[in-house]
Chains A and B, each alone.
Chain A
Amino acid sequence: MIINHPLLGPRDAAEFVYLGDASLIERPDGFGENAEDAMYDYVYLRDNPAGQHRELWYHEQGDRSWLVVTRNTLTHEITAIELARDVARSKGRSR
C-alpha cells in the first residue's frame, strides 16, 4: 500500500506503524462520570467495520507524524489522509 502523506507525498506503508481505529484520538476523561465504562469501551471495544475505516498510522521511519487514514478494509483503497493533529484540533483539542 502507498500512503500519500500530506506533507511528504506518496510513501510506502512499510515506513509506518499501524495503531488502530481513529476513535483512539478521543480518550475519555478518566475522572468523568462513568469513567470506568467509558475507559473499558475506549481501550478494548472496536467497531471493526467491513468497508470505510478511519485509522491511525504513525510515520515512524519518516517525519514521525501521526496520520488519520480513511481506508476501505475490503479493497485496501485509501480515500482520505489527514494529519491527526488537524483532526484532534477540529474536535476542540489543544494539540
Chain B
Amino acid sequence: MIRQHSYWQLFSAVCKKDLQLAFRQRAEIVNPLLFFLIVITLFPLAIGPEPGLLARIAPGIIWVAALLSTMLGLDKLFRDDYHDGSLEQLIASSYPLPLTVLAKVVAHWIITGLPLVLMTPLFALLLNLDTNALIATVLTLLLGTPLLSFIGAIGAGLTVGLQKGGILMSLLVLPLYIPVLIFATSAIETSTMSLDYSGQLAILGAMLVVAILSAPIAISSALKVSVS
C-alpha cells in the first residue's frame, strides 16, 4: 500500500462525505431553512404588519433567526461520526485533525449557511427591506454565517459525547455569538440610513479570519476530550 500525503485529498474527502450525506437526507438542508422562514413569519404576526416597523426591526429578526437555525444543524455536525466511530478513525489518521475539522465546518456552512444567504431576497421581501438593506444583509450573512459555524462547532465538539448535549451546546455557544450579532445588525441598520457600513464588515471579516485560524485547533482538542 502506497501512502501519499495530500492535504487536499483529505479536505475534499471529508467535505464530500458530509455533503453527500446531507444530500441523501435533504431534510437536513431544508428543515433549518423552513425553521428560519417560520420564525420570520411569526414576528409580523406577533407585533403587527406595519411596513415601517418591520423594516426597522428586520435586521434583528433576520439575525436572531439565523443564529437559531444554525444551532439546529450544529447538533448533528459531529454526532453521527461520534456514534459510529468515524471520529476515532479521523483522529487516528496521520493527517492533522484541525484540517479535517476545517473541512467538516466548511461542509456544514455549505449545508446550512449558504442556503440562508441565497434565500435572503425572499426574507427581505417579507420584511419590507429596500435594496440597500438587502445587499447589506447578504454581505453580513456571507461573512457572519461561517463565523457562526466555526464558533458553534467548538460547542458541538465539547458536547458531542454527552447524552443531552443539544441545549447545553446553545448555552455555551449563544453568548459567544453576541459580537457577530451586534456588528451584523448594526451594518444592516447603517445601510438603511444610506451610510457607509464597510467598518462593520471589516470587523466581521477580521473575526472570520481569526476564527478560521484558531477555531479548528479548539474544535480538535474539544473532540479529543469527547472521544477519550
Same complex: no
Q: Which residues of B contact A (CB under 8 A)?
A: none
Q: Taking beta carbons and an 8 Å cutoff, which residues of A are in contact with B?
A: none
